[in-house]
Amino acid sequence: MSSLLVFRRTASTEDGEARWELVDAAAPPDQPPAGVARTRHSANGAVHVVSLAALSTPDLDLLPHLVRELVAALRRTDATLISIRGGRPDIDAALLAEDFLPTGNGPFLLHL
């Protein structure tokens, strides 16, 4: 995997979810993305992160990078709030590093 990763919004699904990908810019077109996020936008400006998945090895964990890129992309939209369910230590740590606040009952929130 090259060091140049590109984050992009790829499509919206029939149920209104957006799909985001973290891809290796030097990879062949048929190579799967290094990370994927799915979001659902509400009418009031809130965005809920439905799922996150990223390549993770003992030497490389792309989940924090995926979270950073997703937050940066959503900051450039009309989103006012991002919510995501935590529960896994690696996801929780990535969210806290991006200033998400735990609510105590599951979701983490970031006011934009």
| Res. 12 pLDDT band, cuts 50 70 90 | confident
**Length in residues, the chain:** 112
What is the structure's pLDDT at 8?
94
Q: Give per-residue burial for 11-36: e unless 16+ CB within 10 Å, then b.
A: eeeeeeebbbbbbbeebeeeeebbbb
Which residue segments constitute the domains of the chain, with CATH numbers given?
5-111 (3.40.630.30)
DSSP class per residue in 26-43: TS-TTSPPSEEEEEEE-T
Q: What is the pTM of this model?
A: 0.89
Q: What is the pLDDT of residues 52-85, one digit of tens each?
A: 999 888 888 898 899 999 999 999 999 999 999 9
> Are 51 and 64 contacting, i.e. CB atoms less than 8 angstroms apart?
no
What are the structure tokens assigned to 81, written together?
Answer: 């709030």
What is the structure's pLDDT at 61?
86
Tell me the one-letter amino acid at 59.
D
Residue 77 CA to residue 112 CA, distance in Å, equals 10
Task: Tell me the mean pLDDT in the region 27-39.
Answer: 93
Q: What is the pLDDT of residues 80-111, one digit of tens each?
A: 999 999 888 878 888 999 999 999 877 999 99
**Close Cβ partners of 53 (under 8 Å, ≥ 6 residues apart):** 35, 36, 37
